[in-house]
Structure 1
Amino acid sequence: MTHINSDDCTGLMAFWADIEADYVLRYQQWHNCEHIPERVSISGFVEGRRYRSLDNKPHFLMYYDTQTASVLASDAYMAALNAPTPWTREALTYFRNPTRDIFTRLAVTGARGKFAAPYITSLRFDLPEEDEAKYAGLWLRAALEAESVERVRFYRVDSAVGNMATSERKVHGGGPGKQTYLVLIEQSRSPASGNGPVTRGDAAVSGDIRRTHEQCHQYWLEMVHQKDESR
């Protein structure tokens, strides 16, 4: 069995949304049984995951690792976005407060574990461009040293791809977020007791933190689907 390693993927589509409470079970069935397999089957898609808010509110992070960000503007993916299935059209009407962004990876420390990380922290923010290198180096390395952290990835939004109008977007109404940067922190144990990786990262850049429009959420894993290239 052969898998493309998601450590080698530089593209990411991330979608944050609340789901109407009465529809959550139906949403999970749709996402598990139709939507993630459909998306991961597209050329250039490697893995899809869904995480649920650690406080068990009906708030979710859904994302796909792709070989490059250009995959998320490919004809095959655009065709899927512009021809949603009936079930997809139904499910998307129950999304609330949706944000969907396309990202290119700038840096990564650590490596994907043997299994998909059971917990993840999503940190979205704006940052002066001259501080990019500081985060790609010192900040990520320090965050990786926190207890139970397996991998830390740093992304910049690709607004040209993310702003494309599609049939699916017309249904869910979600556009890009206002933040330029994303850090994903994968952990083998629950981060409920605190946010050690972020604290360590901030300390490493000597307190010279200029993040704005920051949003930090913590999640636990509900679903992962990885492509088997041997089939």
Structure 2
Amino acid sequence: MTLNTKSDGILAVWLKPPIEIDEEFNEWYNTEHLQQITSQSGFINGHRYKSIGTDTWYLALYDLETLDAFFDKNFQNILANPTPWSRRIKRKFNESENSDGIRNVYRKTLSLGDEPQKLIRFILMTKMDIAREGEDEFNDWYNNKHALSLVQVPGCLRIRRFEAEAIVGETPKFLAIFDLSSYEVLKSEAWIKAQAFGQTEKMRSYITNFNKDCYQFIFGIDANGFSNDQIQPLVLASVTTPVN
């Protein structure tokens, strides 16, 4: 499987299907939808993840050569004209009070660490808004102090930051993705020490709408074909401490 992810941004899709269609939802996504999306010009790959915790969210990340891939008329035509199976899944989502979904396209603003040479099985994702008056100061601190400290932790393979370019649904503007060798990295003494490094009260005061979750890889596809490299799911509480 090709792991070239040198891209200008990502498309991120969070979906929480009704529990009664979970099996069909995953079959649809893995056998039809992911193939359809990644076959579009400018889409490098598509990786699916499942949240680690009791609240089941599925995450799909698509690396984009440029953000133009998302706005391309051919891709937008797919969204506007879903397949019969896609329409059925969407109808079942709309009929349920327990489903939810968010779709964003993000511009990459920072990448620390090496390009992955093998499949990344665990990621930590943080989302937040930053007070407008503190954005420049916060981003300078995060990029040049906070992230540099975290990427040096054993098992933290790469850190990427993004800024939302197009938003469908309510979600924060800033996104960070941490590629991890294992879930245990988040409980290590080195990680706990690094994430607290330089976190002043002033920096924390700029943050609103903060959210953090850990995800485990379940399925992926790129130009070379499928990578159904599943591993046994973990049953753990969502990661909620402290800010990353």
TM-score of the aligned structures, taking structure 1 as reference length? 0.83
Corresponding residue for 1:112? 115
Distance 1:85 1:227, change over 3 A: same
Give the distance between the partners of 2:142 and 2:54, measured in 1 at CA: 30
Contact 2:47 2:60 in 1 (8 A): yes
Report if the CA contact (8 A) 1:143-1:198 is conserved. Answer: no
Which whole-Å CA distance do the structure 2 matches of 1:181 and 1:198 have between them? 22
Distance 1:106 1:151 in 2: 14
Partner residue, 2:31: 33
Q: Determine the C-alpha separation between the residues in 1 that align with 2:119 and 2:213.
A: 18
Q: Is the 8 A contact 1:53 1:218 kept in 2?
A: yes
Deviation at 1:142, TM superposition (A): 1.5
- CA–CA distance in structure 1, aligned partners of residues 25 and 54 of structure 2: 15
Deviation, 1:75, is 1.3
Alignment of 1:19-98 (within 5 A): 19-55=17-53, 57-95=55-93, 96-98=99-101
Q: Deviations over 1:125-162 (max 9, x none)?
A: 01232122322232222221223111111000003xx4
Aligned match for 2:221, one of 218, 225, 229: 225
Match in the other structure for 2:238: none
Alpha-carbon contact 2:110-2:160 (below 8 Å) kept:
yes
Paired letter, 1:194 = K
Aligned position for 1:16: 14
Distance 1:201 1:105, change over 3 A: farther
The higher radius of gyration belongs to 2
Q: What fraction of aligned residue pairs are identical, expressed as a percent? A: 19
Contact 1:100 1:177 in 2 (8 A): no
Q: Distance in 2 between matches of 1:220 and 1:4?
A: 17
**1-side partners of 2:50 and 2:70: how far apart?**
23
- The gaps in structure 2 that reach 5 residues or longer are 94-98, 226-244
CA shift in 2, pair 1:144/1:78, >3 Å: same
In 1, Cα distance between equivalents of 2:56 and 2:90: 14
Report the count of equivalent residues: 213
- The answer on whether the counterparts of 1:53 and 1:217 sit within 8 Å (CA) in structure 2 is yes
The match for 2:124 is: 121
Query: Residue 192 of structure 1: CA displacement?
Result: 7.9
Q: Which amino acid in 2 is paired with 1:211?
A: I
Aligned pairs for 1:171-186 (under 5 A) are 175-186=168-179
Q: Could you tell me the TM-score, scaled by structure 2's length?
A: 0.79
* Residue 158 (structure 2) pairs with residue 155 (structure 1): no
Tell me the secondary structure at the aligned position of residue 224 of structure 1.
strand
Distance 1:122 1:146 in 2: 16
Aligned-partner residue type, residue 69 of structure 1: L
Within 2, Cα distance between the matches of 1:194 and 1:44? 37
**CA, structure 1 residues 187+193, in 2 after alignment: closer, same or farther (shift >3 Å)?**
closer
Q: Against the structure 1 CA distance between its residues 56 and 26, is the aligned structure 2 distance closer, same or farther, given a 3 Å change threshold?
A: farther
- Give the Å deviation of 1:206: 4.7
SS of the residue corresponding to residue 135 of structure 1 reads helix
